[in-house]
């Protein structure tokens, strides 16, 4: 831990930790009081909400493009992800898609899909998004969803350096989307 001074915390504070530029431990400073540490902020913190929301929105757009089988849009989104790998970590992308396709698998297993609120509660999503699952279920049969989940697991392992050789993240993203559509 470093001692608190304005020069230090302008470069490493809660804002930088929230958007993933530094680990939280590097944004914590000692104070003049024992056992009392500070994680300061500055005016940049007000922009963190927008930056964080946009990260989730980008992943949501990929999920939506995949749900409706819009290949052109999906490849456009992963191209953007590949251009900005620090802002779009593959581990987060595969995690979000794993969650989506796991919920889609649960959706396929439901016997009664007549009440959207009940469906939403059973698969763990907001009722607003249930229509996306109806569309995705029409586009991806249960067997295909199971295959996609396995592909996501494989890409996740490769993204962590196991069995990927010298593959770059953008190649892994292209492989992921290709295997989802084919």
Quote the pTM value.
0.69
Pick the CATH number of 52-181 from 3.30.450.30, 1.20.272.10, 3.40.50.1000, 1.10.3720.10: 1.20.272.10
**Domain coordinates in residue numbering, the chain:** 2-42, 52-181
SS3 of 41, please? Answer: coil
Nearest CA to 77 among 146, 162, 2, 180? 180
62-112 tens-digit pLDDT: 999 999 999 999 998 888 888 878 878 888 899 999 999 999 999 999 999
Alpha-carbon Rg for the chain, nearest whole angstrom, is: 20
Instruction: Output the pLDDT for position 123.
Output: 96
Task: Give the distance, in angstroms, between the CA of residue 11 and the centroid of all CA atoms in the same chain.
Answer: 26
Q: Report how far apart, in Å, the C-alpha atoms of 123 and of each of 1, 5, 109, 133, 173 are.
A: 43, 48, 10, 10, 26
Of 80, 43, 45, whose CA–CA distance to 61 is shortest?
80
User: 149 with 101: CB under 8 angstroms?
Assistant: yes
């Amino acid at each position: 831990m470093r001692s608190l001074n304005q020069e230090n915390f302008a470069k490493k504070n809660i804002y930088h930790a929230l958007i993933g530029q530094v680990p939280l431990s590097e944004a914590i400073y000692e104070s003049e009081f024992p056992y009392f540490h500070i994680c300061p902020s500055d005016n940049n913190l007000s922009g963190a909400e927008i930056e964080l929301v946009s990260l989730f929105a980008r992943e949501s757009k990929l999920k939506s493009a995949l749900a409706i089988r819009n290949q052109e849009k999906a490849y456009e989104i992963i191209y953007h992800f590949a251009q900005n790998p620090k802002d779009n970590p593959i581990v987060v992308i595969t995690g979000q898609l794993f969650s989506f396709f796991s919920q889609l698998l649960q959706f396929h297993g439901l016997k009664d899909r007549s009440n959207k609120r009940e469906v939403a509660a059973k698969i763990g999503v907001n009722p607003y998004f249930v229509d996306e699952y109806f569309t995705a279920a029409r586009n991806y049969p249960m067997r295909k969803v199971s295959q996609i989940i396995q592909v996501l697991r494989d890409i996740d392992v490769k993204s962590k350096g196991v069995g990927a050789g010298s593959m770059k993240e953008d190649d892994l993203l292209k492989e992921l989307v290709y295997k989802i559509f084919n």
